[in-house]
């Protein structure tokens, strides 16, 4: 038995893509005794290492904000169905 495939058409009109970016934020205290060298760069690298190693995990309570970014897209004029970004 052969299956019949139909070409699905996309709804006409403008297309909007909305990107949601959530930010989580936490301040971590690092004591001089935990550092190889007592410098701001070493403190930052130590916290980066802790985070990469899973010793610091940001949780919902660390939520500090959200941003929404909208991009309008339109179908290409050549009828190929490809989408092109509209500059705003």
- pLDDT tens digits for range 21-71: 999 999 999 999 999 999 999 999 999 999 999 999 999 999 999 999 999
Quick: pLDDT tens for 1-12: 667 777 667 777
Residue pair 80/30 in contact (Cβ under 8 Å)? The answer is no
Q: Taking the complete model, does pTM exceed 0.85, yes or no?
A: no
| Paired sense of beta strands 63-75 and 83-85, if any | antiparallel
* Cα 12 to Cα 55: distance, rounded to the nearest angstrom: 49
Q: Which residue has the tokens 């205290």?
A: 29
Provide the Cα torsion 29, 31, 36, 42; round to 10°: 30
């Amino acid at each position: 038995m052969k299956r019949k495939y139909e070409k699905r058409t996309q709804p006409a009109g403008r297309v909007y893509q909305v990107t949601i970016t959530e930010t989580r934020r936490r301040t971590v205290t690092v004591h001089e005794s935990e550092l190889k060298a007592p410098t701001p760069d070493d403190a930052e690298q130590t916290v980066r290492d802790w985070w990469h190693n899973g010793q610091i995990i940001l949780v919902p309570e660390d939520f500090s904000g959200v941003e929404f970014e909208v991009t309008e897209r339109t179908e290409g004029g050549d009828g190929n169905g490809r989408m092109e970004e509209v500059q705003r």
